[in-house]
């Protein structure tokens, strides 16, 4: 994984701020090819579904987010 921070363009600042505020998570159900139902987390931007995460990947991603917030940028 790349350890360099991603740097967004200044002209996208308000787009990023608005998108950040409009992004939220909801509990979901993902159906397997065999028809079984498993819990999941659905990430939305406004009403648009961005992705559906398995419980394991939602946990992994939340830990990665926390790790990055605790990491110094310099």
* Cα–Cα separations (whole angstroms), residue 20 to 8, 15, 47: 13, 8, 14
Range of the domain at 33: 25-70
pLDDT at position 14 over 70: yes
In this prediction, residue 72 carries a pLDDT of: 80
Residue 6 counted as domain residue: no
Task: Average the pLDDT over 34-39 and give the result.
Answer: 98
Q: How many domains does the chain have?
A: 1
Burial of 42 (0-12, 13-18, 19+ CB in 10 A): middle
Residue 8 counted as domain residue: no
pLDDT at position 3 over 80: no
Task: Average the pLDDT over 50-63 and give the result.
Answer: 98
Question: Is the CB of residue 53 less than 8 Å from the CB of residue 43?
Answer: yes
Residue 7 counted as domain residue: no
């Amino acid at each position: 994984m790349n350890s360099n921070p991603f740097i967004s363009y200044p002209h996208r600042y308000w787009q990023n701020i608005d998108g950040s505020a409009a992004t939220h998570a909801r509990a979901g159900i993902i159906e397997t090819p065999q028809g079984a139902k498993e819990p999941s987390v659905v990430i939305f931007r406004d009403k648009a579904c961005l992705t559906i995460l398995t419980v394991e990947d939602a946990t992994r991603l939340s830990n990665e987010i926390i790790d990055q917030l605790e990491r110094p940028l310099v």
